[in-house]
């Protein structure tokens, strides 16, 4: 057997691709995942990080609501180190119709979502940041999920089951034999190296970029890019997710996550050319702040850390390339039955919340093609790091008297935190003070999680995601990466790229304290450090 031959190749290193690789690998298949950039660079890393209870969809889309609550309960079991079980509120404000509340609660219950009407006074006590003018509140099992961590844990588990990963490799074409796809050609975007990989089944899990990959394979999947803009605030203003109890609209979800909170989103159709460079406009920023302050009034005076946008992969639901019927549901296409093209599957649509189910559907389709009869076990098997539910218990097991930074590491890595090298005191030195990330944790990410740049490192460890946006930690982390990769010159360029990337999300909200911090950062990097 050739080293470049696999049972299945998955294209796309977002949560769907990583989840699919994990499922395939757990069913004994030899897998390869190919990603043109880094993990979680598309919609996976550019959303709220909301662990939906399904309540948001209960009234209008019962099927999605049911999927969400089932997956919600599964993820709390298998991905506990990526999840914060905060619960959520759906609040009714004076300008909203209170009669919607009953319809909402009935629909939730029908879908199997525990929704409980609570007294507005109790809501104010449970969540002090909530708009005190609220006239109604419903408590639901919403939560927050770190999509970067979730994606990395799936990729890591796939690797532990023998899976291989090629990051920064772009698919440039397919290898065909008659009416079957039997391999891909790739080009590494860093080294320029071209390679070929073969497998009897190839899964297209590229989100909005899936349309392009399908075109390369010679089939058509009609997709519709919808941009969603979000803002990150520099404080964790709320401890529970806050939603509006009304028909879903713009900027009506506020999600706490780690040390910050996120308000979103908008929905705007954009042309395909913009998918790689989505930018947040001043109008979107204004809308997000105005609507966000209705959920939690203190947002209007809270520092904004960053603006960002993602692109939802909306698909025509009924296989109709014209797209008259757009769905947010899961779409799994077997191109053999649909288009007469053997060995090619597209898995798309869906949500971060339902990635595991999507992966199960795609893997079932792969197994049917390969005549493999193995059951899916991803709903019961914890991801690496999630074997234990309480991070404080994890920290106490690893360290006798865990420090704040060690507790933070346990919260990020779960039981995998035991892998952090200790003993040498310099491993305990902090690189990122905002998020309390140590030298040891960064070196662990470099060793195990395929890090080629500071931006990759940020997705895996949260370095540079905190209040200072990389101002203090970027140089320090660059020093470690330079050592690991043995190339300072490349690292200096990487540092420039990293600061550029951080600035992209800062300048749309560049006023007040953000401008202060930006002036400081620009001065230090250009004039003091001499970058």
**Where does this chain bind another protein (CB under 8 A)?**
282, 285-286, 403, 405, 425-426, 428-431, 433, 436, 438-439, 472, 475-476, 478-479, 482-483, 488-489, 491-492, 495-496, 499-500, 502-504, 507, 510-512, 515-520, 522-524, 526-531
Residue with Cβ nearer another protein (122 or 515): 515
Q: Tell me which DSSP letter residue 527 carries.
A: I
What would the DSSP string read from start to end of 272-314? GGGGGG----HHHHHHHHHHHHHH-GGGGGSPEEEEEEEEEEE
- Write down the least CB distance from residue 76 to another protein, Å: 32
User: 379-399 as b/e, with b when 16 or more CB fall inside 10 Å?
Assistant: beebbbbbebeebeebbeebb
- Write down the least CB distance from residue 500 to another protein, Å: 4
Residue with Cβ nearer another protein (224 or 503): 503
Residue with Cβ nearer another protein (124 or 485): 485
Residue with Cβ nearer another protein (217 or 280): 280
Burial of 332 (0-12, 13-18, 19+ CB in 10 A): middle
Residue with Cβ nearer another protein (286 or 390): 286
- Write down the least CB distance from residue 491 to another protein, Å: 8
Distance in angstroms (rounded) separating the CA atoms of residues 251 and 264: 4
Distance in angstroms (rounded) separating the CA atoms of residues 436 and 461: 10
- Write down the least CB distance from residue 510 to another protein, Å: 6
Distance in angstroms (rounded) separating the CA atoms of residues 39 and 453: 12
- Write down the least CB distance from residue 488 to another protein, Å: 4
Nearest CA to 37 among 145, 166, 228?
A: 166
Show the tokens assigned to 269. Answer: 């159709």
Residue with Cβ nearer another protein (219 or 480): 480
Residue with Cβ nearer another protein (125 or 516): 516
- Write down the least CB distance from residue 507 to another protein, Å: 4
Residue with Cβ nearer another protein (73 or 531): 531
Q: How many residues does the chain have?
A: 531
Does residue 203 contact residue 20 with C-beta atoms inside 8 Å?
yes
Residue with Cβ nearer another protein (60 or 522): 522
Which residue pairs, CB below 8 angstroms and at least 24 apart, start in 441-445?
A: 441/409, 441/412, 441/413, 441/417, 442/477, 442/480, 443/480, 443/484, 444/413, 444/416, 444/419, 444/420
- Look at the block and give the residue holding tokens 């010159």: 489
Distance in angstroms (rounded) separating the CA atoms of residues 443 and 451: 10
Residue spans of beta strands (DSSP E) within 482-525: none
Pairing of strands 194-198, 201-204: unpaired
Does residue 160 contact residue 22 with C-beta atoms inside 8 Å?
no
- Write down the least CB distance from residue 494 to another protein, Å: 12
- Write down the least CB distance from residue 44 to another protein, Å: 24
Helix (H) or strand (E) holding 244: strand 241-244
- Write down the least CB distance from residue 479 to another protein, Å: 6
What would the DSSP string read from start to end of 139-183? EE--EEE-HHHHHHHHHHHHHHTT-EEETTEEEEEEEEETTEEEE
Show the tokens assigned to 304. Answer: 């904004």
Distance in angstroms (rounded) separating the CA atoms of residues 122 and 124: 5
- Write down the least CB distance from residue 363 to another protein, Å: 41
Residue with Cβ nearer another protein (188 or 403): 403
- Write down the least CB distance from residue 252 to another protein, Å: 21
Residue with Cβ nearer another protein (269 or 527): 527
């Amino acid at each position: 057997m050739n080293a470049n031959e696999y049972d299945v190749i998955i294209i796309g290193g977002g949560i769907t691709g990583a989840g699919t690789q994990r499922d395939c690998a757990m069913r004994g298949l030899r897998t390869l995942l190919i990603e043109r950039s880094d993990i979680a660079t598309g919609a996976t890393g550019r959303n709220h990080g909301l662990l939906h209870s399904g309540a948001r969809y209960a009234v209008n889309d019962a099927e999605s609501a049911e999927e969400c609550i089932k997956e919600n309960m599964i993820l709390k079991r298998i991905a506990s180190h990526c999840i914060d079980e905060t619960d959520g509120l759906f609040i009714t404000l004076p300008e909203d119709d209170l009669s919607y509340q009953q319809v909402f609660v009935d629909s939730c219950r029908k879908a199997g979502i525990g929704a409980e009407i609570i007294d507005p006074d109790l809501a104010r006590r449970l969540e002090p940041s909530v708009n005190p003018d609220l006239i109604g509140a419903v408590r639901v099992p919403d939560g927050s999920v770190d999509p970067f961590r979730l994606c990395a844990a799936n990729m890591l588990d796939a690797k532990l089951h023998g899976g291989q990963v090629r990051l920064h490799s772009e698919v440039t074409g397919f290898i065909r034999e008659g009416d079957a796809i039997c391999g891909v050609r790739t080009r590494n975007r860093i080294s320029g190296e071209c390679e070929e990989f073969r497998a009897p089944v190839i899964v297209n899990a590229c989100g909005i970029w899936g349309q392009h990959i399908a075109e390369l394979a010679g089939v058509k999947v009609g997709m519709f890019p919808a941009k969603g803009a979000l803002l990150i605030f520099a404080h964790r203003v709320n401890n529970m997710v806050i939603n509006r109890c009304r028909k879903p609209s713009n900027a009506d979800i506020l999600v706490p996550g780690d040390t910050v909170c996120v308000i979103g989103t908008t929905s705007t159709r954009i042309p395909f050319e913009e998918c790689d460079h989505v930018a947040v406009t001043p109008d979107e920023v204004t809308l997000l702040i105005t609507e966000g302050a209705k959920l939690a009034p203190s947002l209007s005076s809270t520092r904004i850390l960053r603006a960002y946008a993602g692109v939802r992969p909306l698909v025509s639901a009924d296989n109709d390339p014209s797209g008259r019927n757009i769905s947010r549901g899961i779409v799994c296409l077997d191109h053999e039955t649909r288009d007469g093209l053997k060995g090619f599957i597209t898995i798309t649509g869906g949500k971060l919340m339902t990635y595991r189910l999507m992966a199960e559907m795609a893997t079932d389709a792969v197994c049917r093609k390969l005549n493999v009869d193995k059951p899916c076990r991803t709903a019961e098997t914890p991801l690496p790091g999630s074997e234990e539910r309480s991070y404080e218990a994890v920290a106490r097991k690893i360290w006798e008297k865990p420090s704040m930074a060690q507790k933070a590491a346990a919260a990020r890595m779960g039981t995998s935190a035991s892998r952090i090298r200790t003993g040498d005191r310099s491993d305990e030195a902090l690189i990122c003070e905002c998020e309390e990330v140590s030298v040891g944790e960064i070196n662990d990410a470099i060793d195990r999680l395929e890090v080629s740049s500071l931006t990759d490192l940020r997705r895996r460890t949260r370095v540079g995601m905190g209040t200072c946006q990389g101002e203090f930690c970027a140089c320090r982390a660059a020093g470690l990466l330079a050592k690991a990769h043995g190339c300072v010159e490349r690292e200096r360029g990487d540092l420039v790229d990293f600061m550029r990337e951080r600035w992209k999300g800062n300048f749309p909200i560049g006023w007040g304290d953000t401008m202060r911090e930006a002036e400081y950062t620009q001065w230090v990097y250009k004039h003091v450090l001499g970058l």
